[in-house]
Amino acid sequence: MKKITVIAAGLFLSANAFAQTWSIDKAHSRIGFGITHLMINEIDGDFKSFDGKITASKADFSDAVIEFSAETNSINTDIEPRDKHLKSPDFFDAEKNPKISFKSTSFKKEKGKEYKLAGELTMHGVTKPVTLTAVLVDTTTHPMSKKEMAGFRITGSVKRSEFGIGASMPDAMLSENVNITANTEFSKD
């Protein structure tokens, strides 16, 4: 029994020893959202200050752990009064909840370059499990830095009421579902 435990520990340590970290290239990435206004038009926005990383030991990323965070105060819809309102206690309450964060609990290959990305999303002081779709757009070597690069498009939807966001806004004013879109580039550290 002792020998099996030692072998298992060795395998675990050797797998972690080969794990690679990939950091988000902020200049070529965008963490965005969209919500339907008056049930007729999707209004979109993004976060100007964000971070992200991937840790994986497999070349196909099938064992990846993906983490993202965004500064709530950096919300941007290109309309300053709306951004100010979104930062207020009516919505994100940025002063009390300065960050939105996501950490994956699983990253499973579905078909081709598509993955099911499950994890914990924390927003407005509430943590909930969410499942998103991630597509590995491609990998390449950056022609200037010579670093390995990977591009992912991550999409999904969350219910704003589950996070206590915009509770006073009826569904006819702002849709319950908020679409998430992250177009990202990562470089291997």
pLDDT at 18: 77
d(CA 176, CA 189): 39
Q: What angle do CA 22, 28, 33 make, to 5 degrees?
A: 100
d(CA 130, CA 104): 9
pLDDT at 2: 55
pTM given for the model: 0.87
Q: What is the mean pLDDT of the chain?
A: 91
Residue 36 has which token pair?
């339907």
Q: Which residues contact 20 (CB under 8 A, 6 or more apart)?
A: 55, 56, 57, 188, 189
- Judged against a pLDDT cut of 90, whether residue 3 lies above it is answered with no
Strands 50-56 and 41-47: unpaired
Residue ranges and CATH numbers for the domains of the chain are: 20-188 (2.40.128.110)
Taking only the tens place, the pLDDT of each residue in 8-61 is: 444 444 444 578 999 999 999 999 999 999 999 999 999 999 999 999 999 889
- Judged against a pLDDT cut of 60, whether residue 7 lies above it is answered with no
DSSP 2: H
* Range 139-177 burial, b when 16+ CB lie within 10 A, else e: eeeeeeeeebbbbbebebbbebeebebbeebeeeebbbe
- Judged against a pLDDT cut of 50, whether residue 72 lies above it is answered with yes
Taking only the tens place, the pLDDT of each residue in 105-159 is: 999 999 999 999 999 999 999 999 999 999 999 999 999 999 999 999 999 999 9
